[in-house]
Structure 1
Amino acid sequence: MRKVLFVCSRNRLRSPTAEQVFSTRRGLEVASAGTNHDADVPLTGDLVAWADIVFVMERVHAAKLRQRFGKHMKSTRLVCLDIPDDYAFMDPALVALLESKVARHLR
């Protein structure tokens, strides 16, 4: 089972959408979190250590993750999706973008 973590700022729109979209995929265990302190599910070292691959929505998320949790990333793969905070939760355009950008990294 491959463990996948999706990260955005507040864990309210992009990363929860990704979690929901990929939660039904066979062979994946998924979670989501946010880098901000007011995130619905704040990012922790345990979550980072748990993941085999972490997808961040923006480069700023990757920088925060490396700065705060770099020691927890041993063999964790980090991928920046470059998806701006322009979408609502489960927005069909966001879902399509996630599916096109994430799928190639899960093969």
Structure 2
Amino acid sequence: MNILFICSRNIWRSATAERIYKNRQDHNVKSAGTEPSAKVKVSAKNILWADIIFVMERKHKQRLVDKFPYEITNKKVVVLENEDEYEYMDQELIDMIKLSVDPYL
């Protein structure tokens, strides 16, 4: 399964999620951000690659719909509701991501 994690700048939340899941043999994982300043900017290619997309906030889903209306059609997009309050690999963030994502995998 190809999994894409999205946040704003791809520095803390989505990068943490990618790190958590990247070494699982049954998943391919990438992360990206929606902002111009993102470490890795989300692209149409990322969206088409993904079987499931996890976004940290509703605004990220809306940005995907606005910028990639054709690519996002028929894609499973899950809003995790993880606010931008954490740093990279913060234990509370890790716990929240696992609790929200694991049921889908």
Query: Please, what TM-score do these two structures have when normalized by structure 2?
Result: 0.97
Offset, 1:25: 1.9
Distance, in Å, in 2 between the alignment partners of 1:43 and 1:27 is 23
- Whether contact under 8 Å (1:52, 1:75) holds in the other structure is no
In the other structure, the counterpart of 1:11 is 10
Matching of residues 46-65 of structure 1 within 5 Å: 46-65=45-64
Unaligned runs of 5+ in 1: none
1:63 and 1:74 mapped to 2: Cα distance? 13
**Matched residue type, 1:55:** F
Cα-Cα RMSD: 0.8
Q: CA deviation at 1:74?
A: 3.7
The alpha carbon displacement at 1:76 in A equals 1.7
Match of 1:80 in 2: 79
3-state SS, counterpart of residue 67 of structure 2: helix
Report Cα offsets for 1:63-96 as digits up to 9, x if no partner: 0001101211243210000000000100011001
Give the total of aligned pairs.
Answer: 105
Structure 1 segments (4+ residues) deviating >6 Å: none
Q: Percent identity?
A: 38
Residue 24 of structure 1: how far off its partner (Å): 1.6
What SS does the corresponding residue of 1:100 show, helix, strand or coil? helix
